[in-house]
Amino acid sequence: MIVENANIEDVALLTELRLAYLKEDYGKLSKGDMEIIGRDLPDYFKKNLNQNIFCYLIREGEEVAACAFLLVVEKPMSPAFITGKTGTVLNVYTKPQYRHKGYAKGIMNKILSDAVEKNLSVVELKSTEDGYRLYQSVGFVDEVSKYHFMKWYNQ
């Protein structure tokens, strides 16, 4: 199994994989959301790919079977992230016909290896029930915190 890093020639493919992941994760997406994401995501990848978003691919023959993204952020240091560099895993996606072959685990191992090379203090992710055991198997643990996870939405 070879995990490769995506490059600028893969932008259209990364956009397609992101949309497939979002459709599966969110269910049906609105036509408006699909249009905005499909229109703007290629520019995001062109600007950020291999700068602060790293995309990993596994191919089976000529077709991409699985992918995942690692978003790297540098922020002011603290004891919780002593180097100031953190990662967030996004978009772990295996096409349905290629599931249960170990591709997601292979990509996760590569991401974590790269996290060590990039000197990331911590890598985080949100897990579905389906992915929970996989992430535990590569070393992720549930976070218990005195803080509440909260969001603000610009509406």
The per-type count for the chain, helices as H runs and strands as E runs, is 4, 5
pLDDT at 142: 95
For 138, the token pair is: 């590569």
pLDDT at 48: 98
Count of structural domains within the chain: 1
23 belongs to a structural domain: yes
What is the pTM (predicted TM-score) of this model?
0.92
111 belongs to a structural domain: yes
pLDDT at 29: 87
- Give the CATH number for residue 131: 3.40.630.30
pLDDT at 13: 95
Which whole number is the average pLDDT over 109-138? Answer: 96
Is residue 68 within 8 A of residue 92, CB to CB? The reply is yes
Which whole number is the average pLDDT over 119-141? Answer: 96
pLDDT at 103: 97
54 belongs to a structural domain: yes
The pLDDT > 90 percentage for the chain reads: 87
Would you place residue 155 in the very low, low, confident or very high pLDDT band (cuts 50, 70, 90)?
confident
pLDDT at 99: 94
- Domain of 132 in residue numbering reads as 3-137
More confident residue, 1 or 124: 124
Instruction: Compute the distance between CA of residue 82 and CA of residue 4 in angstroms, rounded to an integer.
Output: 29
Is residue 30 within 8 A of residue 81, CB to CB? The reply is no
Q: Of 49-53, 64-68, 107-111, 149-153, where does mean pLDDT reach its minimum?
A: 149-153
Instruction: Compute the distance between CA of residue 142 and CA of residue 45 in angstroms, rounded to an integer.
Output: 30
Sign of the dihedral through C-alpha 19, 65, 97, 92: negative
